[in-house]
Amino acid sequence: MENWLTNKSIVIIGGTTGLGFSAAKAFVKHGANVVVVGRNPENCLVAELQLGSQARAKQGDATQPNTSLEAIQLCIREFGSFDGLYHVAGGSGKKYGDGPLHQLTLSAWNSTLDLNLTSLMLSNQAAVQTFLGMGKGGAILNMSSALDFTPFPGHFSAHAYATAKSAVIGFSRSIAATYAPNNIRINVIAPSIIENPENKDLQIEEFISAKQTLNGGRFGLPADLDGAAVYFMSEFSKFTTGQTLTVDGGWNLTEG
């Protein structure tokens, strides 16, 4: 399975930490050139150093209109091509006040949707415009969540986040249908709960071990998504578009 991405140049929005950075390492391993985008300049520097000569990093806020387009332009300048976009940027809206509907403020709603949905629209728009301008096809991979279609209110009642991640699937399918004649394919990965510092408490760990039962029952790891991401960026997925692949450790199959 080595070299699935030889001669591919890929932009990862949210690629300097976590899921995106893990994917960047996998893409480079499989022969791709990558441009990773992140908010924190120190993370950008570390990512570029660790990824090596096949990578460039750009500091930027994905919710701003020009960030993704500038990253794609950097990719073309540095590597001579642009073949794929992987949008990972997003995350919990709890810091804005996302939560149960009866407590949700309009500000929290708007901020969470901007973080998870507006940023994705902007990156996808920039990618499609570039592919059309270059007269070539390409791949877009977006990030949703298994919480969209299998909610669990006992632990996860962030309704703005769930709305945004559900909309990712509808948006992706809509644009996949529109741009399939242009050989632009758009697909989605929907992970369940991925390990991070915010969810490391005993109650959640016990729940996850009963809900995500593969591999002895555990949180997902960033590397668990890498194989799917490599596939969707590669020519092996050239006849696949508008699909959502759930990578959830059994989340959808168990009661928890």
Q: What is the pTM of this model?
A: 0.94
Model pLDDT for residues 230-242, shown as the tens digit of each residue: 999 999 999 999 9
What is d(CA 187, CA 189) in angstroms, rounded to the nearest whole number? 7
- Name the CA radius of gyration of the chain, rounded: 18
The predicted pLDDT at position 154 comes to: 64
20 and 14 Cβ atoms separated by less than 8 Å: yes
C-alpha to C-alpha distances, 235 to 154, 183, 217, 239, nearest whole angstrom: 41, 12, 33, 9
Closest listed residue to residue 232, CA positions, set 158, 176, 192 = 176
Beta bridge partner(s), residue 35: 11, 56
Q: pLDDT tens track of the chain, all 256 residues?
A: 579 999 999 999 999 999 999 999 999 999 999 999 999 999 999 999 999 999 999 999 999 999 999 999 999 999 999 999 999 999 988 899 898 999 999 999 999 999 999 999 999 999 999 999 999 999 999 999 887 666 666 666 788 999 999 999 999 999 999 999 999 999 999 998 888 766 655 467 777 877 788 888 788 889 999 999 999 999 999 999 999 999 888 777 777 6
In sequence order, the 6+-apart residues with CB closer than 8 A to the CB of 32 are 5, 6, 8, 9, 10, 54, 233
109, containing H or E segment: helix 106-113
DSSP reduced 3-state for 160: helix
Share of the chain above pLDDT 70, in %: 93
Closest listed residue to residue 63, CA positions, set 89, 85, 84 = 89
